[in-house]
Amino acid sequence: MSFIGGGMEIISFKYLYKALIGYMTSNMIFGINSLAEGDFDFSSFYHILIIVIWMLLGAGHQIIANRCSYHPKSPMHRYAIAMTTSTFILFLFIFIGQYMFGHGLLGETPTLSVMPLVTIGLLFMYIQNFIIKNGGTAYPTTTSVVTTVYVLMITRLAGSFNRNKTALEQRASLSESIHYVMVLIHFFAGAYITIKLSEHYQFNSLYLVFLVLLFLTLKVWREHSVLRNDFKKKTA
């Protein structure tokens, strides 16, 4: 999932005017810098608008979650639905992005016409971060590699050498630190491979990421099917 996040981030940075669609702090910095330059055109508010859309997505998700009651058929059911949704959104992002690039609709500076594509990307990254946090792992990890991941990696690695901890606790700290190392490696790999492919395929370079996500989605649905059948047998 971090591999997928790396690919999405690097494409959004390259083609969507340095819009890091998983890093709201970076967008805040870019937005403040643009406003400070004093042009006050759409480009000046572009990154701030990204943050506003991100917050609206979060608020909308909470409203829907509070008002809708849903009873999953297995512990993986909600995860599988979210994965499927993100797969369709990613395909839509690639298709529209490549169309806009091929028809010269992505100019030198951002315009209002690019915001639907940016919003689709933001929705995808919101779901991805939500999935990672709630379905993929018990560790506090997100698709976008943030400063917290680096801090946790070093902290847990140091904890594995803490003699005041039991051997079991030391192994648990080491295991968690390795998890964060793998997050960083996969994110780097996703970003590097995608940016190299983008030199020839632009948004279509994300189809590699799409195939990885599709594979994971099918895997989750298979696990959901097994768990659902086990549950039926127990209740039969």
Map tokens 């606790």 to a residue.
169
Where are the extended beta strands (E) located within the chain? none
Predicted pLDDT of residue 137: 67
With a cut of 60, say whether residue 134 has pLDDT above it. no
Higher-confidence position of 43 and 97? 97
- Residue-range definition of the domain harbouring residue 223: 2-235
Predicted pLDDT of residue 73: 82
Q: State the Cα–Cα distance between residues 233 and 230, nearest whole angstrom.
A: 5
Q: State the Cα–Cα distance between residues 144 and 3, nearest whole angstrom.
A: 9
Predicted pLDDT of residue 15: 96
Predicted pLDDT of residue 228: 84
Closest CA to 227 of 65, 26, 75: 75
Burial group, residue 40, by CB count within 10 angstroms (0-12, 13-18, 19+): exposed
Predicted pLDDT of residue 26: 87
Task: Identify the band that residue 129 occupies on the pLDDT scale cut at 50, 70 and 90.
Answer: confident
Helices then strands (H, E): number in the chain? Answer: 8, 0
Q: What is the mean pLDDT of residues 96-104?
A: 96
Task: Identify the band that residue 74 occupies on the pLDDT scale cut at 50, 70 and 90.
Answer: confident
Predicted pLDDT of residue 188: 95
Task: Identify the band that residue 135 occupies on the pLDDT scale cut at 50, 70 and 90.
Answer: low
Contact 207, 193 (CB under 8 A): no
Task: Identify the band that residue 57 occupies on the pLDDT scale cut at 50, 70 and 90.
Answer: very high
Q: State the Cα–Cα distance between residues 117 and 179, nearest whole angstrom.
A: 32
With a cut of 60, say whether residue 13 has pLDDT above it. yes
pTM beyond cutoff 0.85: yes
Contact 45, 31 (CB under 8 A): yes
Structural domain count of the chain: 1
Predicted pLDDT of residue 191: 96
Predicted pLDDT of residue 95: 98
Structure tokens at 16: 């969507």
Contact 142, 20 (CB under 8 A): no
Q: State the Cα–Cα distance between residues 130 and 138, nearest whole angstrom.
A: 12
* Number of C-beta neighbours around residue 190 at 10 A: 25
